[in-house]
Amino acid sequence: MEKIIQTIALELNIKKSQVEATIRLIDEGNTIPFIARYRKEATGGLSDETLRDLGERLTYLRNLSTRKEEVTKSIEAQGKLTEEIIKDLENAITLAEVEDIYRPYKQKKRTRATIAKEKGLEPLALIIMEQTETEDIHMIAQAYLNEEKEVNTVEEAIAGALDILAENISDDANYRKQIKRICYRESMLETKASKPEEKSNYEMYYEFSESINRIPSHRILAINRGEKEEFLKVKMVKPEEKIIDIIEKRVIKGQTQFTPYLKECIFDSWKRLIESSIEREIRNDLTEKAEEQAIKVFGKNAKQLLLGAPLKGLTVMGFDPAYRTGCKIAVIDETGKLLDTVTVYPTEPQNDIEGASRTLLALIKKHQINMIAIGNGTASRESELFVSDLIKQADHEVYYAIVSEAGASVYSASKLATEEYPDINVSLRGAISIARRLQDPLAELVKIDPKAIGVGQYQHDVNQKRLEESLTGVVEDAVNKVGVDVNTATPSLLSYVSGLNSTISKNIVKYRDENGKLTSRKELLNVPKLGKVAFTQCAGFLRIYDGKNPLEITAVHPESYEKAEMLLKQIGYQAKDILDKEKLNEIKQKLECLELAKTAKELNIGEMTLEDIIQELTKPGRDPREDLPKPILRSDVLKLEDLQEGMVLTGTVRNVIDFGAFVDIGVKHDGLVHISEMSDSFVKNPSDIVSVGDIVKVKVIGIDKERQKVKLSMKI
């Protein structure tokens, strides 16, 4: 365990004490959001991202340790365990290395080498390997002829012995390690077109090669996909002469009668046994790393999207664009409650602009709609043109915003949507989802499979189980960062709260329906299956507005109520005073003047915990998303034809990928800011510069009208 702690501390660049404390907390059954928020003293304030990385490495290293023990026992049972093997296993840092060490001792299927061993040719193989015998090899081989075992000629005996040596060389962990290292350093990945005459998304790879150690992860995944779809042939070009030379130098001990045989044997071992398996391992390794990177990018983007700023207190019209089947309209009030639905036909083929305008203007007036959320799918731009003209005719100010509708159709047809809106047509549910996404992105997006929210890079090509685990963690972190109103939240939102699962979440809603609103967090203990352990994990993340205890609109955990009340008493106030605007301003001023270290000592509480309590008391009920950039609200439309090179526009970052970022500037397709156009200085990672949801100023540097593509630059 000590070695695992040391490895993680070194890899994550944190203290051993932080690793030890975190492992202890994880092993006790605490969730990552709970540890990140309420155990800062123990972890030294590690972020949720670092804690998740730590948790993942802990699982991997524990699995590695278990596998080492299994391999050691297996080799020991065969009576072949040596000090050298023990040392090699101890020094192995990946599962692949452990498997390489175990390779010679694994139960094998019948191979040319095992057949040769059955024929009694192993002693002859050892003689050839030792290279000390002076007697002619053909004379030596005579002793191994055996009609019964089907060794009929000297040539057959020598060939069988060489088969044994070829397999021994291929099984040698040290050779494999060295060969892999050379291949990583000097091999090229080469791709050619399988069907050169066919156009495809992979044309840039029809004649392409790049060094293995330089190829970026997004290219690996693109090449893999092209190969899978049979547009590309892929091979690794390896420094074969160098590899064979290295093995020869280690195997051949000067010029003897055995030299030609050994050279032949080494070449055979490389071509028949080593090359393809090393290539497979390296490509698997590259894919694994590329997938990890893609999952990280997806997770980061998803988190930013989930934490998008809500537009509260507005009556919103959700506008789900379409052609033939008509545009679906749903109106929701400021609490997200459905007020009205209708279908209009302002787009082709009907083009009923007059009728649609009349219907929607009446709805805008009736419900005093301030905002229209337009989905960005099919017929989005035509709908935007229609809406921009429509709002000019309204009797009060109305704005519109383009909202990503990724996953809306998945939600519309889901069991959850059917439970929420049993009497509403499937097609209209999409419009409700679009409107609600603008009001509260987090509450709406948690209803959708995270893979469907449209901010990834090759998310369908990566390990789906690993992606799901990672995204569940991302959603958990986002939900717990914001906090959840226990009296209004849906089961899908509650299920992501620390310590809760799907069953308990449904039980909370059922309890709420049967007993009315919860008035205190303690009441959660009456919910079936929600015991003390789950309560400890979830309580701080659940908000109760208009309840018995004012502290329950904050993230102050029940275990810290007493300390929070003592703190308020020390400056002359009570918990109820945080609800009084005037008194709250006074509380803020007094708390800002406190000496943190001294107060923490007086209250017998950690400084980080005290800091969090102070933050919560100065902004009770505050939504951390309020500080984030709000969606761009538009009142007019921009067409691709309106764009000119050199134009400077304001846009919203929709997706961040390894090679840049896609920015919505209000035309039909998002423009691309390539990584080279993000800054005057070198940018290693686009996500260091921008995040999904950021509002950025960009300059148009290229327009391809035929392909509907726009190149943008942030170097203004």
- The DSSP code sequence of 165-220 is HHHHHHH-HHHHHHHHHHHHHH-EEEEEESSTTS--TTGGGTEEEEETTT--HHHH
Angle at the Cα of 562 (from 560 to 566), degrees rounded to 5?
Answer: 115
Decide if 645 contacts 702 (C-beta within 8 A): yes
At residue 344, the pLDDT reads 94
At residue 456, the pLDDT reads 61
Decide if 666 contacts 698 (C-beta within 8 A): no
At residue 635, the pLDDT reads 61
Q: What would the pLDDT profile of 662-706 be if each residue is shown by its tens digit? A: 988 877 778 899 999 998 888 888 888 888 888 888 999 988 887
Please state the rounded mean pLDDT for residues 408-412: 82
Find, among 160, 205, 176, the residue nearest to 276 by Cα.
176
The whole-angstrom separation of Cα 232 and Cα 202 is 8
Tokens 């902004």 belong to residue: 619
Tokens 């959001």 belong to residue: 33
Residue 250 class from Cβ within 10 Å (0-12 exposed, 13-18 middle, 19+ buried)?
middle
At residue 381, the pLDDT reads 79
Residue 100 token pair: 């390489």
What is the rounded radius of gyration, in angstroms, for the C-alpha atoms of the chain? 33
At residue 73, the pLDDT reads 94
The whole-angstrom separation of Cα 705 and Cα 96 is 49
Tokens 């008509």 belong to residue: 326
Residue 206 class from Cβ within 10 Å (0-12 exposed, 13-18 middle, 19+ buried)?
middle
**Residue 116: pLDDT band by 50, 70, 90 thresholds?**
very high
The H-or-E segment that residue 374 falls in is strand 371-375
Find, among 130, 71, 131, 128, the residue nearest to 104 by Cα.
71
Decide if 253 contacts 131 (C-beta within 8 A): yes
Which residues touch 265 (CB under 8 Å, ≥6 apart)? 128, 162, 165, 166, 169
Find, among 4, 37, 182, the residue nearest to 481 by Cα.
37
DSSP tally for the chain: helices H, then strands E: 30, 15
Decide if 715 contacts 699 (C-beta within 8 A): yes
Find, among 12, 92, 23, the residue nearest to 53 by Cα.
12
The whole-angstrom separation of Cα 186 and Cα 211 is 7
**Residue 464: pLDDT band by 50, 70, 90 thresholds?**
confident
- Max Cα–Cα distance, the chain, nearest Å: 108
Q: What would the pLDDT profile of 600-630 be if each residue is shown by its tens digit? A: 998 999 999 999 999 999 988 887 877 766 7
Would the CA dihedral through 47, 688, 296, 629 be positive or negative? Answer: positive
The whole-angstrom separation of Cα 190 and Cα 170 is 25
Decide if 384 contacts 374 (C-beta within 8 A): yes
- Choice between 461 and 487, residue whose per-residue pLDDT is larger: 487
At residue 301, the pLDDT reads 82
Strand partners, 207: 192
SS3 for 586? helix
The whole-angstrom separation of Cα 434 and Cα 412 is 11
The whole-angstrom separation of Cα 441 and Cα 550 is 26
The whole-angstrom separation of Cα 553 and Cα 560 is 14
What's the pTM value of the predicted model, to 2 decimals?
Answer: 0.78
Tokens 């929600």 belong to residue: 530
Find, among 283, 267, 38, 252, the residue nearest to 180 by Cα.
283
Cis? peptide before 349, omega within 30° of 0:
yes
pLDDT-wise least confident of 118-127, 520-529, 696-705 = 696-705
Residue type, 618: T
Domains of the chain from N-terminus onward: 2-105 (1.10.10.650), 112-297 (1.10.3500.10), 316-439 (3.30.420.140), 483-548 (1.10.150.310), 555-622 (no CATH), 640-713 (2.40.50.140)
Residue 636 has pLDDT above 70, yes or no: no
Strand partners, 485: 543
SS3 for 341? strand
Share of the chain above pLDDT 70, in %: 98
According to the 3-state scheme, what is the secondary structure of 696-709? Answer: EEEEEEEEECCCCE
In this structure, the number of other CB atoms found within 10 A of the CB of residue 107 comes to 6
Residue 293 has pLDDT above 60, yes or no: yes
In this structure, the number of other CB atoms found within 10 A of the CB of residue 197 comes to 5
At residue 637, the pLDDT reads 57
| Angle in degrees, 0-180, between the axes of helices 607-618 and 596-603, rounded to the nearest 10 | 100
Q: What would the pLDDT profile of 272-282 be if each residue is shown by its tens digit? A: 999 999 999 99
**Residue 47: pLDDT band by 50, 70, 90 thresholds?**
very high
DSSP secondary structure letters along 261-290: HHHHHHHHIIIIIIHHHHHHHHHHHHHHHH
Please state the rounded mean pLDDT for residues 512-530: 94
Displacement of CA 242 from its chain's centroid (Å): 39
Residue 119 has pLDDT above 90, yes or no: yes
SS3 for 226? helix
Q: What would the pLDDT profile of 85-103 be if each residue is shown by its tens digit? A: 999 999 999 998 999 999 8
Find, among 625, 678, 634, the residue nearest to 656 by Cα.
678
The whole-angstrom separation of Cα 500 and Cα 80 is 50
Residue type, 25: L
648-657 and 207-211 beta bridge pairing: unpaired
Which residues touch 305 (CB under 8 Å, ≥6 apart)? 404, 441, 445, 453, 455, 692, 693
At residue 607, the pLDDT reads 92
The whole-angstrom separation of Cα 56 and Cα 474 is 14
